[in-house]
C-alpha cells in the first residue's frame, strides 16, 4: 500500500456537474438549498488513485473530509501486533471523516483508497468556519441528519420483517420507475455492499440470486434483468401480508 495523501496523489480537478449531484445527495446536505451546498463546498476538489493508497492514518490532523465519487475506501484499525482490522467500506455516494472535522480534529482510524477510487475532498477548516458563520445552518444540518436517521430506522424495521429476497426486490424497485413489464437495472454498488445493505453475508448473496430466478430476475454482471416488475412488487408486498 502506497502512502499517498490527498495532497500528493495527483493533479486536483475541480468538481463537475455530476460531482455536484453526488455532493448534494449525501445525508449531511439532505434537504439543504443547492446554492447553499454549492457555497459550502466551493473549495472542494477531486483526486484519483491509480493504486491502493493510504489516505490518512489514525492520529493525523483532520484537514479534509471526503465523499466517494467512484471506487471504494476501506476504514481500518491496527491491532497491537500490527494487523489490519477492517471497520467498514465506504461506497460511492457516501461521505466520511465529518466527525473528525467537527470534533476531535484528528482522524480516529486509518483510511485506504482502493485502486480506481476518485474522491471529492472538502477542506475542513473553511467548511467549519462557513457552518459557524450562519446561525441557522447547524440546525438545518441536524435536521438533515435526523431525516437520515429516520430512514435508517425504517431500513432496520424492513430488515426484521422481510426475507433477504424481498429486501433485494425492494432495492431493485427503488432503482426503476417502471411499474410493470421488463426492466434492466444497473447495480449502483458492489455485491459486497449490496449484501451488507440487505443484511446478509456476501456468501449468502448467491443463494438470494438463485431464489430470484423463479421471479424472473437474473443478475448479469453489474446489471439486473427483470422479466416483470409487477411480479417483483408482488413479492415485496407478501411481507406485509404475513
Q: Find the range with the poorest average confidence among 17-21, 24-28, 130-134, 156-160.
A: 156-160
162-241: CATH topology: Arc Repressor Mutant, subunit A (1.10.10)
**pLDDT for res 151:** 55
Cα first-last separation, the chain: 50
What's this model's pTM, rounded to 2 decimal places?
0.61
Q: Is the four-CA dihedral 145, 151, 155, 161 of positive or negative sign?
A: positive
Residue 88 has pLDDT above 60, yes or no: yes
CA distances from 171 to 53, 116, 154, 185, 197 (A): 31, 25, 14, 10, 9
DSSP helix/strand/coil, 60? coil
Nearest-angstrom CA–CA distance, 82 and 151? 37
Chain centroid to CA 186: 16
Res. 53: pLDDT tops 90: yes
Q: Is the domain 2-153 a CATH 2.60.120.10 member?
A: yes
pLDDT given for residue 26 in this prediction: 85
**pLDDT tens digits, residue range 157-210?**
655 567 888 888 888 887 777 778 899 988 767 787 788 777 788 888 888 999
pLDDT of residue 148: 54
Give the domain ranges of the chain: 2-153, 162-241
Model pLDDT for residues 116-167, shown as the tens digit of each residue? 999 999 999 988 888 888 877 777 777 766 665 555 555 556 555 678 888 8
Q: Who wins on pLDDT, 221 or 67?
A: 67
Q: What percent of the chain has pLDDT over 90?
A: 26
With beta carbons less than 8 A apart as the criterion, state whether 66 and 120 touch.
Answer: yes
Whether the predicted pLDDT of 10 surpasses 70? no
The pLDDT, as a whole number, for residue 216 is 92
Give yes or no for a contact between 62 and 98, defined as CB atoms under 8 angstroms apart: no
Q: What is the pLDDT of residue 120?
A: 96
% residues pLDDT > 70 (the chain): 83
pLDDT of 7 higher than 50: no
What distance in Å separates the CA atoms of residue 190 and residue 196, rounded to the nearest whole number?
10
pLDDT of the residue at 51 = 92
Amino acid at each position: 500500500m502506497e502512502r499517498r495523501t490527498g495532497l500528493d496523489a495527483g493533479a486536483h480537478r475541480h468538481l463537475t456537474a455530476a460531482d455536484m449531484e453526488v455532493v448534494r445527495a449525501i445525508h449531511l446536505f439532505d434537504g439543504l438549498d443547492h446554492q447553499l451546498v454549492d457555497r459550502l463546498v466551493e473549495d472542494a476538489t477531486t483526486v484519483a488513485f491509480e493504486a491502493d493508497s493510504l489516505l490518512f492514518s489514525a492520529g493525523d490532523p483532520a484537514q479534509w473530509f471526503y465523499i466517494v465519487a467512484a471506487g471504494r475506501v476501506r476504514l481500518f484499525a491496527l491491532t497491537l501486533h500490527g494487523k489490519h482490522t477492517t471497520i467498514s467500506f465506504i461506497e460511492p455516494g457516501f461521505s466520511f471523516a465529518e466527525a473528525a472535522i467537527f470534533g476531535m480534529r484528528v482522524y480516529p482510524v486509518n483510511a485506504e483508497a482502493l485502486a480506481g477510487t476518485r474522491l471529492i475532498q472538502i477542506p475542513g477548516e473553511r467548511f467549519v468556519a462557513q457552518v459557524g458563520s450562519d446561525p441557522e445552518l447547524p440546525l438545518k444540518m441536524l435536521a438533515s441528519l435526523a431525516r437520515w436517521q429516520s430512514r435508517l430506522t425504517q431500513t432496520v424495521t424492513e430488515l426484521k420483517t422481510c426475507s433477504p429476497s424481498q429486501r433485494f426486490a425492494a432495492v431493485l424497485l427503488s432503482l426503476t420507475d417502471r411499474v410493470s413489464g421488463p426492466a434492466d437495472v444497473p447495480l449502483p454498488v458492489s455485491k459486497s455492499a449490496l449484501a451488507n445493505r440487505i443484511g446478509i453475508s456476501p456468501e449468502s448473496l448467491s443463494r438470494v440470486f438463485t431464489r430470484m430466478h423463479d421471479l424472473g430476475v437474473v443478475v448479469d454482471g453489474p446489471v439486473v434483468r427483470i422479466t416483470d416488475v409487477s411480479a417483483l412488487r408482488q413479492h415485496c408486498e407478501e411481507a406485509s401480508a404475513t
